[in-house]
Structure 1
Amino acid sequence: MDPPGRLTLLTNLYAAFNRRDVPTLLAAMAPDVSWPNGWEGGVVHGRDEVGAYWRRQWEQLEPVVTPTAFRTEADGRIAVTVHQVVHDKAGAKLADHTVTHVYRLGDGLVTEMEIRE
């Protein structure tokens, strides 16, 4: 997938996340995707575990994640700078910060993501 196509894929994934569109998100993941559990800790593996993680998270929290910059790293991964705002279900702001998400893609699908503070 060409670099513009990869950026479009990732931009669309953030929009799907903010809409809570699990089917669209999981369709863009490799079946054995490795995904950080930034909320509870650890790593989840595979589409089923990633979907379950997001559903648990969204029962408790209202995160909105907006990409602000993209860069390709030397190893081919894509680092996305994101502005992340998280509220609890009552509307109280719990977090408002910038982090970096680093993606590895294979065959047009997300195979791995890492969070850098």
Structure 2
Amino acid sequence: MSVFTGAEFHKQGIHTVRSIALKAGLKDCIAQGMMESCWASEYLTRLFGESFLSTGKHFTTYLSPVYPRDTITIEGEVVGSVSENGKVRVEVEYWLLNQDGVTTAVGHGSSLL
């Protein structure tokens, strides 16, 4: 989490300094939401393949903190498709869960096939 945050270059806070996180009412440092967006991008790239890199898009909403040593899994389902420029854009809803089954983020993404 410190490497992702760039702690050696940036202002330190709830993502990298435990005392600051505790003072903010958290039980430990938390991952940046953008880490979950990166995991969602990886999921969608594996799902759609190289097409996602050039035609894909996604949006993630963060719901619960991700703490050090949490195990995060991502699940999703195809929810629709639309015609776009002679191709099909497949739409997916996804959600990220921690080891306790708590949903930490939800989102939707799509890609042309």
Report the TM-score when normalising by structure 2.
0.31
Computing the radius of gyration from Cα coordinates, the structure with the larger value is 2
More helix per residue: 1 or 2?
1
